Structure 1
Amino acid sequence: MKTIKWYLSPFSIVNYIALCLLSLAMLFPFMYVISVSFSSYEDFLRSDFMFFPKTWILTSYEFILNSKPFIRAVWVTVKLTVIGTFVNLLFTTTFAYSLSRPMIGRRVIMLFVVFSLLFTAGMIPTYLVVLETGLMNSLWSLIIPVAISPYNLIVMRQFFLSIPSELNEAATIDGANDIQVFTKIILPLSKPSLAAFGLFYAVAHWNNYFTGVLYLNNPKDWPIQVVLRQMIIINEPNTTLGILSEHAPPAETIQMAAIIVATLPILFVYPFLQKHFAKGVMLGSVKG
């Protein structure tokens, strides 16, 4: 019976060691945040760095989950992510499909799309547009200005161009109009691409905080990332969460627990879309 000999070149060994060290370096901050969020304040003060908490307690999680401002911010973020992702996919797919069909002025419109990909208006002009259109202090101020990503639009258009034109012609001969072709033929074939770009849009909405700081002045309208900014950067966790109890956990453990709660929901989305993710990103990236 032949024995299989495994051989690794010196470069592969060094490469594996370097990647393992890099993975550990990225893992340490996450473990630190998790450990502090589950630790007591005494254990937190005694150790400079904790990889595992000595005593597991849920006090910080109980306080933030009983905080109405925090729960309201999570709900605002969920609405922003769901509605924003739907609007993004709706406008991106319809616009990309229109540009993939023969139409007058298609090249000119594509030039404008590419131009917007390379050059953006900037923060001040965008703020003035949001202000003059009456979108200030509204959830739509975080959605409409970023309704279409030029990069995603171009890749989606290339994917639509890669679909055989015979399918469109056969559906047209059977009496289907453009809307029926788009909804009953094109979209079902685009599930991997929709899953990939939907994930991109959802993560962007979930992690967005800068436009929330610019356009939302009412704390009741803040998404979770703006609340985390108030808690961590400005260091006002108790005031932001409305915690007035004398027995409240220390600010450090509340901050870490809030980070974990704000991060987990979007992480749970990845396993459900993983099988479509790699395929969807590569679709439309070959044909020019």
Structure 2
Amino acid sequence: MTQISGKVASSDRFKSPFSRGQSRQKQQKSLSDRFVDVMIVIAIIAVVVVVLYPLWFIIIASFSDQTKVSSGQVTIWPQGFTLAGYLRVFQDTRIWTGYRNTIIYTVLGTALNLVVTLPAAFALSRVEFKPRRLLLFLFTFTMYFAGGLIPNYLLFKQLGLLNSMWVFILPGAVSVWNLIIARSFFETSIPEDLHDAAQIDGLSLIGYFMRVVIPLSSAIIAVIGLYYFVGHWNDYFTGLIYIRDDSMQPLQNVLQSILLANQTNQMGSGNGGQNVMQQQQIADQIKYGVILVSTLPLLVIYPFLQKYFNKGVMIGAVKG
């Protein structure tokens, strides 16, 4: 036993000053910085609660009796569980048409965006492509100067895009911001040595892009794909201005028309105070249900893309 303790003591004696300093720092942190660590954790929890509670309140309010919601009884859990708001929303057959249209516009639009943006960004990232600076300037110019609403309406009318699904897809085929992010990713994150190796193997530039660059760009594809997907899903202005056929309206415009129709019924419901209060409660139920119906698909998709989202934004934006 004495022999073992002597070996331990000798090993401690021959430890470097750096390792002994590290152990002392760990002891000091565990003793003196514990309060700071606790305060940081409390601050993070407070921020998470502040961000998530409004969403949680909408969820529980949509399943609660609106009388208890308006009286302030609903805070953490649903009170007077009911599905009346969702039943009123889904009883309108237009909402299924709106869902179908939005899914079609979003899937086709996002696919076209990726097909156009990725090759364009790759071309602008190549040094041997001489006009790239001029083209990038022309792309960037459109971010600050546009024709305006009336010229766009006249242009879409002449192109035959009004009251057509293509008005949701073709005009926004390229987002300059996403193009710049993808270009920065290709310039900074794809080694040029891979291109040299691909040339030795006999690959053309298109083959190099399809077989090497695209498989290595899953992060940036997920990022700009999510950007495009959210943009198409939340597109409200296009349907409001350029679509007159109700069967072509996306989900956001259908939900807005449901809310407006309910508010109109509330205003013309009569002079009785009790009746007006009931109509207001129905309107609130529909409002909470509409918010969840329109945002639920995005809430479901985002967690699967979060790791790519964080990685792709940092690589494409910070290094660029």
Q: TM-score range by the shorter chain?
A: 0.7 to 0.9
Q: Which amino acid aligns with 2:289?
A: A
1:144 aligns to 2:143 (yes or no): no
1:262 aligns to 2:294 (yes or no): yes
1:74/1:262 contact within 8 Å kept: no
**Higher relative contact order structure (alpha carbons within 8 Å, sequence separation ≥ 6):** 1
1:189 aligns to 2:221 (yes or no): no
- Selected match of 2:83 from 47, 58, 67: 58
Q: CA deviation at 1:211?
A: 1.5
Q: Output the CA distance in 2 between the equivalents of 1:149 and 1:126.
A: 17
Structure 2 gap ranges (5+): 1-26, 266-278
Q: Output the CA distance in 2 between the equivalents of 1:278 and 1:41.
A: 39
Q: Output the CA distance in 1 between the equivalents of 2:215 and 2:81.
A: 47
Q: Output the CA distance in 2 between the equivalents of 1:140 and 1:59.
A: 36
Q: Output the CA distance in 2 between the equivalents of 1:38 and 1:137.
A: 37
Give the structure with higher Rg (CA): 2
Q: Output the CA distance in 2 between the equivalents of 1:218 and 1:44.
A: 37
**Greater CA deviation, 265-274 or 249-258?**
249-258
Q: Which amino acid aligns with 1:123?
A: L
- Counterpart of 1:159 in 2: which secondary structure? helix
**Greater CA deviation, 257-266 or 31-40?**
31-40
Q: Which amino acid aligns with 1:33?
A: I
Tell me the TM-score normalized by structure 2. 0.76
- Selected match of 2:109 from 84, 109, 114: 84
Q: Deviations over 1:18-48 (max 9, x none)?
A: 7666654544533442233212355456x24
- Selected match of 1:134 from 129, 151, 160: 160
Q: Output the CA distance in 1 between the equivalents of 2:46 and 2:196.
A: 55
**Greater CA deviation, 131-140 or 223-232?**
223-232
Q: CA deviation at 1:222?
A: 1.2
Distance 1:100 1:42, change over 3 A: closer
Q: Which amino acid aligns with 2:301?
A: V
1:208 aligns to 2:235 (yes or no): yes
Q: Output the CA distance in 2 between the equivalents of 1:229 and 1:137.
A: 18
Q: Output the CA distance in 2 between the equivalents of 1:39 and 1:81.
A: 32
**Greater CA deviation, 248-257 or 91-100?**
248-257
| Alignment match, 1:123 | 149
| Alignment match, 2:23 | none
Q: CA deviation at 1:159?
A: 1.5
- Selected match of 1:99 from 111, 114, 124: 124
1:167 aligns to 2:194 (yes or no): yes
Q: Output the CA distance in 1 between the equivalents of 2:186 and 2:237.
A: 33
Distance 1:31 1:158, change over 3 A: closer
Q: Output the CA distance in 2 between the equivalents of 1:256 and 1:123.
A: 32
The percentage of counterpart residues that share the same residue type is 37
Distance 1:229 1:169, change over 3 A: same
Distance 1:230 1:106, change over 3 A: same
| Alignment match, 1:244 | none
| Alignment match, 2:140 | 114
Q: Which amino acid aligns with 2:114?
A: L
| Alignment match, 1:243 | none
| Alignment match, 1:275 | 307
Q: Output the CA distance in 2 between the equivalents of 1:204 and 1:282.
A: 21
Q: CA deviation at 1:134?
A: 0.8
Structure 1 gap ranges (5+): 240-247
Q: Deviations over 1:95-136 (max 9, x none)?
A: 111112222422211110121223333322222222221111
Q: Deviations over 1:220-260 (max 9, x none)?
A: 1111111222233x353799xxxxxxxx9923212211221
| Alignment match, 1:217 | 244
| Alignment match, 2:225 | 198
Across the aligned residues of Structure 1 and Structure 2, the Cα RMSD in angstroms comes to 2.8
1:284 aligns to 2:308 (yes or no): no
Q: Deviations over 1:172-209 (max 9, x none)?
A: 23222222211111100110000011111111111111
Q: CA deviation at 1:150?
A: 0.8
